[in-house]
Amino acid sequence: MCNNALPSLANMCLKKVVKVMYCPRCRQAKEYVSHTMWWCVRWKEVWVSTPFWGMIARFKWLGSRDVLRGLAELLKKKLYDLWMDRNDFVHNGNGRQSRNLVSCMAIQSSYLGVSSPNVWSPPQVGSLKLNTNASVKKGLLLCGVGAVIKDDKGWVVTALSKPFPSNFSTEAGEMVALREGLLLAQKLQLKVSCVELDACNVVSKISNGLADLGEIEFILDDVKALLKAVEVQKCLSISRNGNRVAHNLTSLTLSSKEDLLWQNICLSVIFPCLVG
């Protein structure tokens, strides 16, 4: 797509495959790839309805690499949907109306979001929130994960700190941490309404309907199944400050190298450093 290599009508006309290069939907401009993906007036309603254009501002507290990675994962799914719908229209005459695509994209996007960049915020009254984090030490072949489930008053329902001997990538480590947190919730029969982690690329992959064929594929499948099992409604990306307790639990794992589990306690009393 970036190299204008998709078989748009303008490209095929230049190769003398077809004779008409104008967009089959709007018929107002030549159908180059950029027109199909971004500028066709028939798609304006779709893009206006999505959070993409405001998302860079919402991600400004992240590093530029994470911003681009997160946006790339999100855009990949949306652009794939648009291109497949275009093909369906050209070859079968069955393209969806833009309002139907808006509805479809709204459903996909409702699961993904960005929470407060600086502080942990409580879930809705009567609900639980899970925060997870991972730290990968390549030289030690060790991945430490931390997870904490809190109620709407900020009370720790349960928390864990767990080491894994591994050579995980950072992304795989974050996915493992999320899986461990969800497994803990399932074991204790807790219904978690919201999940937060400071890894927007992982959140994007969870929201993405496309298959991931990398090292995290098997973990991603587990995570998606567990998200349904514990009835998670939102999966959010937050800053390190907003995820401080989970991050500190991860640090504790790397220093203790033991599996630790707490239930119904005040972590600030037992381990002041965890919430400091």
Same domain, residue pair 81 and 191: no
**């303008």: which residue's tokens?**
10
113 domain-assigned: no
Kindly state whether residue 114 falls inside one of the protein's structural domains: no
Predicted confidence at residue 147, as pLDDT, reads: 95
| Residue 3 located in a structural domain | no
Question: How is residue 223 written in tokens?
Answer: 């995570």
**Domain check: are 32 and 138 in the same one?**
no
Judge whether 145 lies within some domain.
yes
- Whichever domain contains 135, its CATH number is 3.30.420.10
CB-hemisphere CA count at 13 Å for 237? Answer: 26
Domain check: are 149 and 234 in the same one? yes
pLDDT digits (tens, 9 = 90+) for 17-52: 988 889 888 888 888 877 776 667 776 666 666 655
Residue ending a domain, choose from 75, 108, 141: 108
Length of the chain: 276
Pick from 35, 28, 31, 36: which is nearest to 14 by CA? 31
Q: What is the mean pLDDT of the chain?
A: 77
State the Cα–Cα distance between residues 7 and 14, nearest whole angstrom: 11
* Contact between 226 and 130 (Cβ < 8 Å): no
For residue 249, the enclosing domain spans 128-275
Output the pTM of the full model.
0.61
Together in a domain, 55 and 164: no
119 domain-assigned: no
Asked if the structure places residue 43 within a domain, the reply is: yes
Q: Does 135 lie in the same domain as 94?
A: no
Residue 17 in domain: yes
**Gyration radius (Cα) of the chain, Å:** 22
Q: Are 217 and 264 in contact (CB under 8 A)?
A: no
Name which of 215, 217, 220 is nearest 203 in CA terms.
220
Same domain, 54 and 143: no
Render pLDDT for 166-199 as a digit per residue (tens, 0 to 9): 888 888 999 999 999 999 999 999 999 999 998 8
* 78, 132: one domain: no
Q: How far is CA 271 from CA 21, 119, 157, 207, in A?
A: 67, 19, 15, 34
Q: Within 13 Å and on the Cβ side, how many CA atoms surround 198?
A: 25
Q: Which of 108, 143, 162 is the last residue of a domain?
A: 108
Token reading at 142: 């060790």
| Beta-carbon contacts of residue 269 (< 8 Å; ≥ 6 apart) | none
Pair 156, 213 in one domain? yes
Write out pLDDT tens, residues 228-248.
Answer: 999 999 888 888 888 888 998
At residue 63 the predicted structure's pLDDT band, cuts being 50, 70 and 90, is: very low
Paired residues of 237 in beta bridges: 114, 197
pLDDT at 130 over 50: yes
Listed in sequence order, the residues at least 6 apart from 118 whose beta carbon sits closer than 8 Å to its beta carbon are 61, 239, 241, 242
C-alpha–C-alpha distance, residues 75 and 93, integer Å: 25
- Supply the DSSP symbol for 95: P
Q: What is the pLDDT of residue 269?
A: 45
**Assigned domain for 258 exists:** yes
Choose one of 108, 137, 168: the last residue of a domain. Answer: 108
* Strand runs labelled E in the chain: 112-114, 128-137, 142-151, 156-165, 194-197, 234-237, 260-265
Considering the domain architecture, whether residues 154 and 212 belong to the same structural domain is answered as yes
Half-sphere exposure of 27 (CA within 13 A, CB side): 1
Whether residue 154 is predicted with pLDDT greater than 90 in this model: the reply is no
Q: Are 130 and 192 in contact (CB under 8 A)?
A: yes
Query: What is the mean pLDDT of the segment spanning 247-264?
Result: 84
Q: Same domain, yes or no, for 153 and 24? A: no
Structural domains of the chain, count = 2
Residues 90 and 145 in one domain: no
- One domain, residues 133 and 45: no
